[in-house]
């Protein structure tokens, strides 16, 4: 029996990074294949090629044995492929029915046929077992229900190949159970399912087979997976040479450097109290939407808080003023590097010098020689790989852009770094270097707040871990007491209820 | 440096050289000293204002009110001068009027975060109306020989209006390249949110840039009034488009973050040379509109090409698909 979907030697490069290199694997009808790997292993790039967002540089995709290359998402959809994204691709202002049928709305005499639209929507919602009124505004549904609507879209198009990209990352326990059941049904109908996740428990509960990616290459294909395979899969994901990518270095902590007192604002519902010491690396863990980025933006003054304040070295910062925060030694490396971190058209040097030349003590005339020398020094310290400091920063790889942003704050003399997902989309080598710089910064007496949704990373890097859940702090755990299980329990919204993926560990 | 890099940096200058060579061959008298001096004089209005428009565009904003501001400041200067008999008071009134318009634009754009295209479209209308109201709807003749000297006098054989243009370009070229303020303008244009989060005082800079733009438009309006010896409320309609065209021709990006004063100088000269040649060849005015619009269109297409590194239109399909994708993500 030929596979419904096959990757044949697929490769893809971006400037400075090889995202995928000669990837081969196949998925048959009636099979759920897990696609696992660490951040930056190439999972999303594989899905984007499947979805027609990227074209491979080498190799091909085969759908039902026939080689295909998709120039657009539309062509991919027409080939019977559906991708259920992590960030849902729906229109929140439209109704559920409209979202379900968007792109294929039924017409009568050239006008929208609302009756037919509602009927079809109701039929598919019934099939999914979701009691949703098709006229509800999509934005009023929970994330889990919105995901069901997206699955409904795939069913309406009768997609034969359905890929799920980390579908449970923001679902409650009950919603996760529903999703598992529905994926089981889709498999029974003979569809080919790709399931991307880094939660091993889900993989063992659901998948028939697994493909492990590391650094853009498939390193392991397992045709049958069970919980016994866990050590094998984990070893393949991590790779021996990077087994200790975090290389944690213990430190002694000094006095309190920054105190957050009763801070609340958009996205942070309950007042947050925190203190971070000199020399400390404080991890901030939480699921998508837990409020990590929002807390950082409040601390930094990028957003004005509703209540509370931030004290640095015992002095309160004026609320909502990034310039004052910077003057006090704070620095923010935002999660959204492209939209909030870099000035893409400007050179690496300009980007690195930006904060320094805006410090209060800066002169109105540029001190070009001093600035160039100082920027070059920081670029060297951070080992930013660029052909020259004069090339546009947008041409650098993600890892080097991130290093340049940290170099920017070192140049400005920052004492407290707020790093928001600093290693997202960054290759393993650069991640390891960034961790090293974080330790070095802390060893020199600086403080680091490190937000991440990658639990292994938080466990590996932080001295102490703050867990956030739904806009509040759910708990603070010392490194010595921190386990994956404990962090996850704190991070999940419905505490006290059964979680099917934790039962094994809890038993 | 690759061939495309060279084209990107030197593109406008090469275009100017080719244009001058073609015009020298095709148009009789084009390279004469008299004609060249006339050409330079004819671009002073656009050129003086283009230096500050460069800052506005590089900041990812636009100012459509400059034509109206030129008219208002000329009229203000004329009215005040006639009423007070003082040239100095008249000039100060014109400059202050221009700066006030700029300050208003800047305060609304920066303070209320309204799109500058719409804000200055509105103030363009309002300021034009104020110019008519101040003048009583008619041109205001000025009877002061000392004032005429600003327009017709010269220093070292070069007319004062040309000196004003040179000064404007020199000052704002220096500001853009050598001051923290100028680099911050480019940073805001390149990514306003990133600039804010590294401590660039974006509101203050936006207000300052718009105020400078108004001040310089006011200066240009006074010089124009001196040349035509009157304050004309209906002058310089459409000037903003000529100024923006010159900047874009000179490589200032409409998406912000990119601009050089040398490029702007070349852009202004291209505009002037084309206009001059059309005049020398006695091309009827109506055709000139078409040619000027065509030049702007070419400049915008060139801007797009510089950004994408390809001919925008030829790669239409795949990019259109990507753009849709981006929109969907934003809605989600």
Token digits of residue A324:
């004052």
Measure B322 CA to nearest chain A CA, in Å. Answer: 7
Which residues of chain A fall short of a pLDDT of 70? Answer: 1, 15-17, 39-40, 86-88, 170, 198, 238-243, 427-428, 494-507
- Dihedral sign computed on CA atoms, order B257, B258, B261, B264: negative
> Chain A closest CA to B253's CA: distance in Å?
10
Interface of A with B in 299-318 (CB under 8 A): 300, 302
Q: Return the ∠ at Cα A61 (arms to A200 and A85), rounded to 5°.
A: 45
- pLDDT band, very low/low/confident/very high, at B64 (cuts 50, 70, 90): very high
Token digits of residue B68: 């109206």
Comparing alpha-carbon positions, the chain B residue that sits nearest to A302 is: B197
Question: Tokens 């931030």, residue?
Answer: A310
What per-residue confidence (pLDDT) applies to B149? 85
Q: Which residues of A touch B187 (CB under 8 A)?
A: 343, 346, 350, 354
Distance from CA of A301 to the nearest CA of B (A): 9
Distance, in angstroms, between A276 CA and closest chain B CA?
22
Dist CA B19 CA A249 (whole Å): 65
Contact A339 B197 (CB under 8 A): no
A89 shares contact with chain B (CB less than 8 Å): yes
Per-residue pLDDT tens over the stretch B116-152: 999 999 999 999 999 999 998 889 888 888 888 888 8
- Confirm or reject contact between A364 and chain B (CB < 8 A): yes
Q: What is the distance between the alpha carbons of residues B88 and B214, in angstroms, rounded to a whole number?
A: 19
- By C-alpha distance, the chain A residue nearest B308 is A345
Residue A337's pLDDT is what?
83
Calculate how close chain B gets to A474, using CA atoms only, in Å.
Answer: 27
| Alpha carbon distance B202, A436 (integer Å) | 34
Size of interface A-B (CB pairs under 8 A): 102
Length of chain A: 507
Q: 3-class SS at A221?
A: strand
Q: What is the largest CA-CA distance in chain A?
A: 75
A264 in Cβ contact with A307 (< 8 Å)? yes
Chain B residues with CB-CB distance to A52 below 8 A: 321
- Interface residue A346 vs chain B (CB under 8 A): yes
Is the pLDDT score of B104 beyond 50?
A: yes
Q: Which domains does chain A have, with CATH numbers?
A: 5-242 (3.40.50.300), 256-329+415-506 (3.40.50.300), 343-412 (no CATH)
Q: What's the distance, CA A195 to chain centroid?
A: 16
CA nearest to A362 within chain B: B180
State whether B199 and A343 contact (CB < 8 Å): no
Q: Do residue A358 and residue B321 have CB atoms under 8 angstroms apart? A: no
Q: Which residues of B275-287 are buried (b: 16+ CB within 10 A; e: fewer)?
A: bbbbbbeeeeeee
Q: Cβ separation of A366 and B253 shorter than 8 Å?
A: no
Instruction: State whether A73 and B324 contact (CB < 8 Å).
Output: yes
Nearest residue, CB atoms, A339 vs list B180, B193, B199: B193
Structure tokens belonging to residue B293: 């619009």
> Quick check: A326 and B324 CB within 8 A?
no
Nearest Cα to B49, choosing from B173, B182, B147, B169?
B169
Provide mean pLDDT across the span B82-111.
93
Pairing of the two strands B230-231 and A447-452: unpaired
pLDDT at A1: 58
- Are A355 and B328 a contacting pair at CB < 8 A? no
pLDDT at A496: 44
B60, B192 in Cβ contact below 8 A? yes
> Which residue in chain A is spatially nearest to B175 when comparing CA positions?
A365
pLDDT in tens, B187-209: 999 999 999 999 999 999 999 99
Torsional sign, CA B30, B34, B39, B40: positive
Residue B318, pLDDT > 50, answer no
Q: Nearest CA of chain A to the CA of B198: how many Å?
A: 5
Residue A310, beta-bridge partner list = A260
Residue B196 has its nearest CB partner, among A73, A322, A408, at: A322
Report the pLDDT value the prediction gives residue A225, as an integer from 0 to 100.
83
Say yes or no: A350 contacts chain B, CB-CB below 8 A. Answer: yes
Residue B195 and residue A343 in contact, taking contact as beta carbons nearer than 8 Å: yes
What sign has the CA pseudo-torsion A176, A178, A181, A182? Answer: negative
For B92-112, give one letter per residue: b (16+ CB within 10 A) or e. ebbbbbbbbbbbbbbbbbbee
Question: How close B321 gets to chain A, by Cα (Å)?
Answer: 6
Question: What domains sit in chain B, N to C, each tagged with a CATH number?
Answer: 3-309 (1.10.3470)
- Closest partner residue to B321 (CB to CB) among A71, A89, A362 is A71
Residues constituting chain B:
332
Question: Above 50 in pLDDT, residue B319?
Answer: no
Provide the shortest C-alpha distance from residue B115 to chain A (in Å).
19
Can you tell me the distance from the alpha carbon of A124 to that of A148, in angstroms, rounded to the nearest whole number? 10
* Residue among A71, A91, A345 minimizing CB distance to B190: A345
pLDDT, chain B, mean: 84
Task: List the single residue in A85, A344, A366 with the smallest CB-CB distance to B178.
Answer: A366
The distance of Cα A54 from the centroid of its chain, to the nearest Å, equals 19
**B187 and A350 in contact (C-beta within 8 Å)?**
yes
Any B CB within 8 A of A320 CB: no
């Amino acid at each position: 029996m030929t596979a419904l979907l096959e990757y044949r030697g697929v490769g893809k490069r971006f400037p400075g990074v090889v995202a995928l290199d000669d990837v081969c694997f196949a998925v048959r009808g009636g099979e759920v294949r897990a696609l696992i790997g660490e951040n930056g292993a190439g999972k999303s790039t594989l899905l984007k090629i499947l979805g027609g967002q990227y074209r491979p540089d080498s190799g091909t995709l085969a759908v039902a044995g026939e080689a295909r290359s998709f120039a657009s998402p539309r062509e991919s959809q027409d080939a019977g492929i559906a991708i259920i994204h992590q960030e849902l691709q729906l229109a929140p202002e439209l109704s559920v029915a409209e979202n379900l049928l968007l792109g294929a709305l039924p017409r009568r005499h050239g006008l929208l046929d609302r009756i037919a639209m509602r009927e079809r929507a109701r039929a598919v919602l019934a099939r999914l077992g979701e009691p949703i009124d098709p006229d509800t505004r999509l934005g009023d549904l929970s994330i889990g229900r919105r995901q069901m609507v997206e699955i409904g879209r795939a069913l309406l198009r009768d997609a034969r190949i359905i890929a799920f990209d980390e579908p449970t990352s923001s679902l409650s326990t009950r919603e996760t159970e529903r999703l598992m059941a529905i994926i089981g049904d889709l498999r029974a109908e003979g569809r080919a399912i790709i399931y991307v996740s880094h939660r091993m428990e889900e993989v063992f509960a659901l998948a028939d087979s697994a493909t492990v990616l590391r650094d853009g290459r498939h390193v392991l294909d397992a045709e049958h997976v069970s919980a016994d395979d866990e050590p094998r899969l984990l070893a393949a994901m991590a790779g021996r040479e990077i087994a200790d990518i975090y290389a944690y270095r213990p430190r002694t902590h000094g006095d309190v450097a920054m105190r957050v007192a009763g801070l609340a604002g958009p996205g942070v519902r309950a007042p947050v109290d925190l203190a971070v010491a000199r020399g400390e690396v404080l991890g901030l863990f939480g699921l998508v939407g837990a409020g990590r980025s929002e807390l950082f933006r409040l601390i930094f003054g990028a957003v004005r808080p509703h209540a509370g304040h931030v004290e640095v070295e015992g002095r309160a910062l004026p609320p909502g003023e990034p310039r004052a925060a910077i003057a006090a030694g704070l620095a923010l490396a935002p999660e959204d590097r492209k939209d909030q971190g870099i000035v893409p058209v400007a050179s690496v040097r300009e980007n690195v010098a930006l904060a320094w030349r805006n410090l209060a003590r800066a002169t109105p005339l540029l001190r070009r020689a001093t600035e160039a020398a100082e920027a070059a020094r920081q670029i060297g310290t951070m080992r930013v790989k660029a052909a020259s400091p004069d090339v546009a920063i947008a041409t650098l790889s993600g890892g080097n852009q991130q290093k340049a942003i940290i170099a920017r704050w070192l140049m400005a003399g920052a004492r407290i770094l707020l790093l928001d997902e600093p290693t997202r989309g960054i290759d393993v080598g650069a991640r390891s270097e960034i961790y090293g710089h974080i330790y070095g910064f802390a060893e020199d007496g600086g403080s680091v707040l490190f937000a991440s949704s990658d639990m292994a990373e938080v466990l590996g890097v932080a001295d102490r871990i703050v867990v956030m859940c739904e806009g509040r702090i759910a708990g603070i755990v010392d490194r010595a007491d921190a386990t994956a299980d404990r962090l996850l329990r704190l991070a999940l919204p419905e505490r006290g209820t059964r979680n099917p993926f934790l039962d094994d560990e809890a038993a | 440096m690759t061939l495309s890099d060279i084209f990107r940096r030197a593109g406008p200058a090469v275009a100017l050289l080719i244009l001058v060579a073609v015009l020298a061959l095709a148009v009789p008298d084009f390279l004469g000293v008299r004609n060249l001096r006339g050409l330079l004089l004819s671009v002073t209005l656009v050129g003086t204002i283009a230096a500050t428009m460069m800052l506005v565009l590089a900041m990812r904003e636009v100012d459509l009110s400059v034509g109206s501001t030129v008219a208002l400041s000329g009229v203000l200067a004329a009215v005040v001068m006639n009423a007070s008999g003082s040239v100095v008071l008249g000039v100060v009134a014109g400059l202050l009027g221009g700066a006030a318009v700029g300050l208003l634009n800047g305060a609304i754009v920066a303070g209320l975060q309204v799109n500058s295209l719409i804000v200055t479209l509105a103030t363009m209308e309002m300021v034009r109306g104020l110019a008519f109201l101040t003048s009583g709807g008619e041109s205001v003749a000025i009877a002061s020989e000392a004032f005429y000297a600003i327009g017709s006098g010269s220093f070292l054989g070069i007319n004062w209006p040309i000196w004003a243009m040179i000064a404007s370009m020199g000052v704002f070229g220096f500001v853009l390249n050598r001051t923290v303020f100028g680099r911050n303008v480019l940073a805001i244009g390149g990514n306003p949110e990133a600039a804010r989060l590294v401590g660039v005082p974006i509101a203050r800079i936006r207000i300052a840039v718009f105020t400078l733009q108004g001040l310089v438009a006011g200066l240009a309006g006074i010089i124009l009034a001196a040349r035509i010896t009157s304050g004309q409320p209906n002058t310089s309609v459409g000037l903003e488009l000529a100024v923006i065209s010159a900047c874009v021709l000179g490589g200032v990006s409409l998406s912000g973050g990119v601009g050089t004063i040398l490029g702007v100088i070349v852009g202004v000269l291209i505009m002037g040379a084309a206009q001059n040649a059309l005049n020398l060849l006695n091309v009827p005015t109506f055709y000139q509109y078409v040619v000027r619009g065509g030049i702007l269109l070419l400049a915008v297409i060139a801007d797009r090409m510089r950004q994408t590194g390809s001919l925008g239109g030829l790669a239409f399909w795949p990019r259109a698909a990507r753009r849709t994708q981006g929109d969907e993500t934003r809605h989600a």
